[in-house]
Chains A and B, each alone.
Chain A
Amino acid sequence: MSRSLVLFAAVGAAALVVAGVLIAVSLSGGTSKPQSTNAALSGVGDALSIFGGIPQHGIVLGNPNAPVTVVEFADLQCPYCMHFTTDQLPAFVQQDVRTGKAKLEFRGLAFVGPDSLRGLRAANAAAQQNKLWTFIDILYSNQGTENTGWLSDAMVRRAAAAVPGLNVAKLVAALDSGPVNTLVQAAQRLATTAGVNSTPTLFVNGTQVSSATAAALEQAVAAAS
């Protein structure tokens, strides 16, 4: 019987140690590898490869000391913003942001409908964890028709869960927080001041860019550098 007890104790101790290590690794975010397996949620792999390795600080993507600042005003429900993000932005990010020539600032607006505000709050909450750009890219890739309910709480959670290192519970808790409110209001104020009346609207060092294309942006950045 005492041999049984020793065996029980040894087996139990070994199992607890191994399980503890597994849990610790899992909680550390499983940071090592981008997920290539998010079948039902589109664009996760793309988002991770476009923004992987580029620093994010709050709403800013890229080297915070980059000489040129590009500001994007956008609504997560707006189809043109989606097209800009999926078709034009990757080339610009690769060309100018990854190389440190420019940094990109997201100023989210919510005018398409009530769901826009939900997405915007979530985006700004993701900014609190320095994951805004990856998060909104996934939302855009899964965009539905305006105000049809696609931008739901569940979608916010799903998209957030697909971003490695983004703590979903923390994001949800921050949706109505002070810093998020401040970002929402600041973007609205800036848009009003700058006379933004459509999205996406882009500014390079304060000058509005004529069209939302990678080529126009690259040209504007080169001119401003």
Chain B
Amino acid sequence: MRLRVAVAVLALVAAAIASYLTILHYTHNAPVCPTSGCETVQRSHYAELVGIPVALLGLLAYLAIAATAASARSEAAAIGAALTLVALVFSAYLLIVSLTVIHAVCVWCVGTDVCVALLTPAALLRLRV
């Protein structure tokens, strides 16, 4: 139960950040950013995947992960863990791209990275039942 609460809370925090970035993406606004790198990252073509903003994909994934926490079934745990691992690997990739290719850091994105990093052990531990 504690793990499910942890998964839900972390996923919802990540979803909140992703929804902020998604809204900015569609309203053509620059994020409030203490490092000035947010715009650069959000404007790069890595911010979209086949025309879909990465922020929106993240939002959907985080909401789905949060939804899996509503059920105690092992199938829900498995789906949640799989989605979390996808998010972990893809976030790591985006972080590397942002540091080595775009040369700018988007703190909002790093915020979701932290959530995903914390989510991973919680989501994986749910599989051990």
Contacts and interface: CB of A to CB of B under 8 A. Distances in A.
Interface string A4-47: 10011011101110111011011001101101011111001000
Contact of B40 (A11, A19, A30, A161): A161
A169 B101 contact: yes
A33 B89 CA distance: 24
Nearest to A158: B40
B45 interface: yes
Contacts of A33: 48, 50-51
Contact of A19 (B30, B90, B97, B124): B90
B4 interface: no
A176 B43 CA distance: 26
Nearest to A157: B103
B40 A18 contact: no
B1 to A, nearest CB: 18
A184 interface: no
A169 to B, nearest CB: 5
Given A4-B127, A39-B28, A157-B102, A30 B85 contact: no
Majority secondary structure of chain A interface residues (helix, strand, loop or mixed): helix
Nearest to A37: B25
Contact of B49 (A20, A26, A165): A26
B46 A26 contact: yes
Contacts of A26: 46, 49, 54, 93-94, 97
Nearest to B27: A39
Nearest to A22: B90
A138 B102 CA distance: 17
Given A23-B89, A33-B48, A157 B82 contact: no
Given A8-B124, A11-B127, A15-B82, A161 B49 contact: no
B106 interface: no
Interface residues of A, number: 37
Interface in B43-73: 43-51, 53-54
Contacts of B101: 168-169
B100 interface: yes
Contacts of B47: 37
Contacts of A157: 40, 102-104
B32 interface: no
A154 interface: yes
Nearest to A159: B43
A15 B43 contact: no
A79 interface: no
Given A4-B127, A23-B89, 8 more contacts: A15-B89, A16-B85, A19-B86, A22-B90, A25-B50, A30-B45, A37-B53, A40-B30
Q: Which 5 pairs from chain A and chain B are nearest by CB?
A: A15-B85, A33-B51, A39-B28, A19-B89, A161-B44
Interface of A: 4, 7-8, 10-12, 14-16, 18-20, 22-23, 25-26, 29-30, 32-33, 35, 37-41, 44, 154, 157-158, 161-165, 168-169
